Amino acid sequence: MSDYAKPPISPGLISLDVSTGSLLPSGPTLTRRLSDLQGCFKNMEAWQQEVNNGNPIVYQVVSSVVPEIPRELPQSVTTIFPGSCDGELYMTKGHQHPDPQGEIYYGLAGTGGIIMFDGKQTSWIDITPGKIGYIPPGWAHRSINTGTSEYKFLAVYPGSAGHDYQWVLKNGMGLRAFTKNNKFELEEFNS
């Protein structure tokens, strides 16, 4: 498996293949199956059934060799596969940054969006290839594939930011994204 580079890191070029979502050179790749998204989907029975019945891959994250440590600027390419669980669209776990730092997501392929939540206000941003979504400090963020093909985006974030998943499990994300009768719908998180 590829690993992160060890500081001090030399200036370098990274090639991004948009069709495969791969980086060269690349760091670790993370694969999240439906079972890794425990507590994320509204219909927990449907989630459990689909975990028992094949446990599909929901998304993959390919990291660059730049490590998640203070003052570095890591990047990653996330591919969310198309799909839904009882209508709730495939998504990332979603996280808050323990060190409140901003982040950008740049759309590479497919159609998707970002749900953001600061504990009070919610926001939805559509992402398509060429669009940049800005995540301000203090806003938890979750990505959604709203289409029928793979949704890919590049993330760039400060190495000190970190990932707090418990915050999302405790506070929710403000909104949920569904496909109903082939139409995209956003609903209040606890409706």
Residue ranges binding Zn ion (CB under 5 A)? 103
Does residue 96 bind ligand M6P (CB under 6 A)?
no
**Residue number, 21 or 181, with CB nearest to ligand M6P:** 21
Does residue 104 bind ligand M6P (CB under 6 A)?
no
In whole angstroms, the minimum distance from the beta carbon of 182 to ligand M6P comes to: 26
In whole angstroms, the minimum distance from the beta carbon of 141 to Zn ion comes to: 6
Q: Which of 46, 57, 61, 125 binds ligand M6P (CB under 6 A)?
A: 61
Burial of residue 61 (CB within 10 Å: 0-12, 13-18, 19+) is: middle
> Could you say which residues in the range 125-164 bind ligand M6P, by CB under 6 A?
155, 157, 163
64 binds, among ligand M6P, Zn ion, none (CB under 5 to 8 A by kind): none
In whole angstroms, the minimum distance from the beta carbon of 181 to ligand M6P comes to: 28
**Residue number, 80 or 84, with CB nearest to ligand M6P:** 80
Q: Which of 92, 111, 145, 146 binds ligand M6P (CB under 6 A)?
A: 92
- The residue whose Cβ lies closest to Zn ion is 103
DSSP string, the chain: ---PPPSSPPP---EEETTTTEEES---EEEEEGGGGTTTSS-HHHHHHHHHTT--EEEEEEE-SS-SSTT---EEEEEEPS-EETTEEPB---BB-SS---EEEEEEES-EEEEEE-SS-EEEEEE-TT-EEEE-TT-EEEEEE-SSS-EEEEEE--TT---BSHHHHHH--SEEEEEETTEEEEEETT-
Binding interface with ligand M6P (CB under 6 A): 61, 76, 78, 92-95, 155, 157, 163
